[in-house]
Amino acid sequence: MNGIDISGWQKDLNLEVVPCDFVIIKATQGVKYTSKTFKEQIDKAIALGKLVGVYHYAGGGGVEAEADYFLSVVKDYIGKAILCFDWEGEQNPNFGNPSYAMSWLKYVKKKTGITPFLYMSKSVCRQYDWAAVKSFPLWCAQYANRTNTGYKREPWTDSKGFGAWESPAIYQYSANGRLTGYNANLDLDKAYISAEEWKAYASGETVVDNSKKSNEEIAAEVVAGLWGNGDERKKRLSEAGYDYSAIQAIVNDSVSPAKKSLDEVAREVVKGLWGNGATRKKKLSEAGYDYAAVQKRVDKLLRE
């Protein structure tokens, strides 16, 4: 599913015309700030039949104080929206202490019975040990560049993994999204969970077990770059209980050189989307492209 996350910065956004399957809306920050546009934005999204989420931006003041403040503001939407904790460095005095975020997640689950999502950049997933909260779904951010873009079917991500998580539930891949009906940048997100799973997380009825995903679903994640490459991919898939050979066969069948022209792939290489050196050669070969032909076209483009 394709979606956006918004706050007071998008107060003039018209959800009736901007295409999205889901909207995640900023509600609060710290223990004093409530977004002035929160209620209007979420009520509109719900009225339009969108899947919704609400998020709290970590701002200090104490784990329980922050959580209670957030829950007091979003209380009318508990059971309807997924709950999210935005863990970033700016205006967050506790950023170097991941146990603060972990405690917030556990406290909210204890208070509501709902499993909240944890938002952070992909690099932070690997910077600290998040094993204690890997059962909480990950909403992760990483951008290929700052170029304006629409929704992407297979957004770029590096192959270094997501720390304690095998893959994210939601992936934010651009802060420079441009969509019909809104003439400014938007955060673009892709959900790797279904609408039914989203609703289950919102209601607290169940926790989605990624091991129940089909080989076809996992293969789509592999193509999207969520499971790494080569031996790393094989290791991670095997450790997660998947049949690597079966999934790789699906991937090989689904990825074809005909999907993109030689020129399109070469231009992606120039932009840095396929890595460099041996990594580039391996990724292009695994995707079914003729590395030598692509590289020849790249060299020509660079001379033009």
Number of other residues whose CB lies within 10 A of the CB of residue 199: 16
Q: What is the C-alpha to C-alpha distance for residues 22 and 49, in angstroms, rounded to an integer?
A: 9
Residue 249's pLDDT is 85
The tally of CA atoms less than 13 A away on the side-chain side of residue 201 is 27
Question: Do 10 and 63 fall within a single domain?
Answer: yes
Q: Is residue 132 helix, strand or coil? A: helix
Residue 221's pLDDT is 86
Question: Would you give the end-to-end CA distance of the chain in angstroms?
Answer: 39
Number of other residues whose CB lies within 10 A of the CB of residue 260: 14
Question: Do 115 and 57 fall within a single domain?
Answer: yes
Q: What is the C-alpha to C-alpha distance for residues 121 and 143, in angstroms, rounded to an integer?
A: 9
Number of other residues whose CB lies within 10 A of the CB of residue 1: 15
Question: Do 130 and 21 fall within a single domain?
Answer: yes
Residue 212's pLDDT is 57
Q: Specify the number of domains making up the chain.
A: 3
Residue 199's pLDDT is 96
Residue 211's pLDDT is 46
The per-residue pLDDT for range 96-142, each reduced to its tens digit, is 999 999 999 999 999 999 999 999 999 999 999 999 999 999 999 99
Residue 259's pLDDT is 63
Residue 255's pLDDT is 56
Question: Do 73 and 175 fall within a single domain?
Answer: yes
Question: Do 189 and 127 fall within a single domain?
Answer: yes
Question: Do 120 and 222 fall within a single domain?
Answer: no
Residues of the chain with pLDDT under 50: 208, 210-211, 257
The per-residue pLDDT for range 239-280, each reduced to its tens digit, is 777 888 888 888 887 655 456 888 888 888 888 888 888 888
Residue 285's pLDDT is 83
Residue that finishes a domain, picked among 150, 185, 208: 208
Question: Do 192 and 233 fall within a single domain?
Answer: no
Question: Do 52 and 76 fall within a single domain?
Answer: yes
Pairing of strands 117-121, 138-141: parallel
Six token digits for residue 49: 């039949």
Token match 């076809």: residue? 216
Question: Do 158 and 221 fall within a single domain?
Answer: no
For residue 251, give the nearest of 280, 285, 208 by alpha carbon.
285
The domain in which residue 229 lies consists of 211-254
Question: Do 125 and 175 fall within a single domain?
Answer: yes
Question: Do 143 and 70 fall within a single domain?
Answer: yes
